[in-house]
Structure 1
Amino acid sequence: MKNPAPGPVPLQLFDPRRGDVAFKIAPIRAPDYQQPQRNNFFTVLWVQKGRGTFHVDLQSYAFAAPTLLFVTPYQTFFLAPDSAIGGTSIQFHANFFCIETYHEEVGCNGVLFNDLYGRPVIALDDPRSAEFASLIAQMEKELQTAGLAHSEILLSYLKVFLIKATRHKIEQQECTTAAPNTRPPAVLDRLTALIEEHYPHAHSPADYAAWLHLSPKALGKIVKSQLGKTLTTLIRERILKHAKWQLLHTRKPVKGIAAEVGFDDELYFSRLFKRGTGFSPSAFREFETAIRSGRNLSM
């Protein structure tokens, strides 16, 4: 059996301080994404043609072109084997653009990335797809020419891309909420508020079901049908989101961070964290801080 032909070489920008890849654009080859992968890049897949199923962690989402798919660093993702698509991938590391540091400017944190309560998929119409195509073409051209203020121009294009995608997703969510036949159950809003309030100490789905006067099974069905994930997964993701922020942006000891999210057993917390990211808490902090040259700790 012949090995598949190698894909086109991606266009890349390297961090001059360490030589790591900071930003890259490449054509999507479906076979490249049909094996589970996990990395420390923010990833956007712009699907121009085809359809398929997008798996992120333990969730799956059907999609059809034109569409945008989003992956937060350290999520495991892949395309189902029967997915036949064409398009472009954009990947960037926080050493190039930190969405938390620049949240007020761009607003994509919690909408495009780190969105625990939404879908990492944005359906596009043809005019919007053409708009994103133009921005990607500008970024590709800049990567090929590498002129004056090269990285600053690339960063500007990326910000515009993310702002437009964020606006479009918010518009879609508002339209869904306004349409009576597609409006999410009100219980989901109450559940979201409860998780945000109680995730540091309430880790059992049964607790949230009791507060909402539902059986755990009934609440689990609602969460699965609306968000594509289990309630256990949703609670765990919220815990990990808190832990990752604290590890990246503070010098708190791992034991203290574990206690903040309700774990007296630091070892158990570390195992949970490693299952979710592929790294122990200490290794995660050390690795990411080294790549960012310590700038993450300035927050």
Structure 2
Amino acid sequence: METTLYQSKYQRLGCIPFQSDAIELLNDSTYDPYIKIIYAPKGVRLRVDFSEHYCQDPTLFFISPNQYLQFIELADHGYFIYYNRDFYCIQLHDKEVACDGLLFNNIYHMPHTILNPKENEIITVILEQMLEEFEIRASTQEEMLRIYLKQIIIRATRLWKKQHLGRLGQESHREIEFFREFSRLVEIHYRTKHLVGDYADLIGVASKTLTHKFKKFDLPSPNEVIKDRILLEAKRMLIHTSLSAKEIAYDLGYEDPSYFNRLFNKKIGDSPIVFRKKYIEGKNVPLE
């Protein structure tokens, strides 16, 4: 299967057009350190962390390096884009695409946007143009590839807002940015800051104000969002590392491992050790 790759010094961007028989290639650990964008046609089934997704329509998925991706079932005419932060860092270029906290690192844990027929046509044309650009050996190739990548991200961000923000999507840009900033801050600080007040201080509002904003739009409370992010990382570490529950608790900023164990048990329904054992044995475990 043909793969295309642009690399210059530390910068890398690759695109793999895939067919239904490419599961082994796409599940290779080679791509784990990269940011990934998947154009998944109808019929693709994949797992991101502990959530399984089945595509009934063409869908774009946005996967951060710290997320775990596994393809379960593929279809023809898909695209697998991977790149590193040296090629394009959404945090450094946030004003350009404004997707951090939405497509990536969002509090809703929804790393995808469904394409309507019009957007699907536009996105597939961009992907085809990107593939053509890999064949052009010109001094402007790097920037052209980056432009195509940004086009995909910007169009997907607009769609994501319409599909996932609900009532919040009807509010002002400033209001949306408030929640996007909260998402970004949780992603940065969840290991060291566990209280709503910590994030209220960072944003510059009172804790009650922060909580009220979430309640106003029927969103999970800030405390739930913070705890869910911590526990998601705990589950990742339990399944994908050999660290003990105590070591994971310390890594996530809990000086009292027994408190962490009680929190995990209350939210997940099993102790960390039982969760790991059930998952490894393939038993039914509470994934969300």
Given the two structures, how large is their TM-score scaled by the length of structure 2? 0.58
Aligned partner of 1:285 in structure 2 is none
Size of the alignment, in residue pairs? 201
Q: Which amino acid aligns with 1:10?
A: T
The answer for the alignment partner of 1:87 in structure 2 is: 78
Determine the structure 2 residue equivalent to 1:121: 112
User: Could you tell me the percent identity over the aligned residues?
Assistant: 22
Going from structure 1 to structure 2, the CA distance change for 1:56 and 1:233 (only over 3 Å counts) comes to farther
In structure 2, distance between residues paired with 1:164 and 1:137: 16
**Equivalent of 1:44 in 37, 40, 45:** 37
Residue 108 of structure 1 deviates from its aligned partner by 1.6
The Cα of 1:67 is off from its aligned counterpart by 1.2
Per the TM alignment, residue 26 of structure 1 is displaced from its structure 2 partner at its CA by 1.1
Give 1:32 deviation, angstroms: 3.4
Structure 1 residue 260, shift from structure 2 partner: 10
Distance 1:25 1:36 in 2: 14
Q: Deviations over 1:71-100 (max 9, x none)?
A: 11132111224x445311111111100111
Alpha-carbon deviation of 1:174?
Answer: 3.7
What corresponds to 1:57 in structure 2? Answer: 49
- Residue 15 of structure 2: which of 1, 5, 25 is its match? 25
In structure 2, the partner of 1:294 is none
The answer on whether the counterparts of 1:68 and 1:123 sit within 8 Å (CA) in structure 2 is yes
SS in 1 for 2:65: coil
Q: CA deviation at 1:9?
A: 2.0
Question: Are 2:194 and 2:227, in contact at CA under 8 Å, matched by a contact in 1?
Answer: no
Q: Matches of 2:76 and 2:141 in 1, distance apart?
A: 31
In structure 2, how many angstroms separate the alpha carbons of the residues matched to 1:39 and 1:162? 20
Paired with 1:178 and 1:103, the residues of 2 have a C-alpha distance of 19
CA 1:31–1:231 in structure 2 vs 1: closer, same or farther (change >3 Å)?
Answer: farther
How large is the Cα RMSD of the aligned pairs? 3.8
Secondary structure (helix, strand or coil) at the match of 2:77 reads strand
Does the Cα contact within 8 Å between 2:230 and 2:252 map onto a contact in 1?
A: no
Quote the residue 1:262 is aligned against. Answer: 253
| C-alpha distance in structure 2 between counterparts of 1:67 and 1:14, whole Å | 27
Q: How far apart, in 1, do the equivalents of 2:46 and 2:143 lie?
A: 32
- 5+ residue gaps, structure 2: 171-178, 196-218, 236-248, 257-288
Alignment match, 2:60:
68
Residue 171 of structure 1 corresponds to which residue in structure 2?
162
Q: Secondary structure at the match of 1:171?
A: helix
Structure 1 residue 201 displacement after superposition: 5.1
| Partner residue of 1:108 out of 73, 91, 99 | 99
User: Residues 118 and 162 from structure 1, CA distance in 2 versus in 1: closer, same or farther, beyond 3 angstroms?
Assistant: same
Checking the alignment, whether the CA contact within 8 Å between 1:46 and 1:87 is kept in structure 2 is yes
Instruction: Give the unaligned 5+ runs of structure 1.
Output: 1-7, 180-188, 204-221, 224-229, 241-257, 266-299
Aligned residue in 1 for 2:207: none
For 1:29, the aligned partner's letter is: Q
1:146 to 137, 147, 151: 137
Following TM superposition, where does structure 1 have runs of at least 4 consecutive aligned residues deviating by more than 4 angstroms?
34-38, 175-179, 195-199, 230-233, 237-240, 258-261
Who is 1:97 aligned against? 88
Residue of structure 2 in register with 1:253 after alignment: none
Please say if residues 71 and 113 of structure 1, whose CA atoms lie closer than 8 Å, have aligned partners that are also in contact. yes
Which one-letter code corresponds to 2:229 in the other structure? L
Q: Does 1:10 align with 2:42?
A: no
Retained in 1: the 8 A contact 2:40–2:55?
A: no
SS at match of 2:22: helix
Q: Aligned residue for 1:234?
A: 229
CA contact (8 A) 1:116 1:237 kept: no
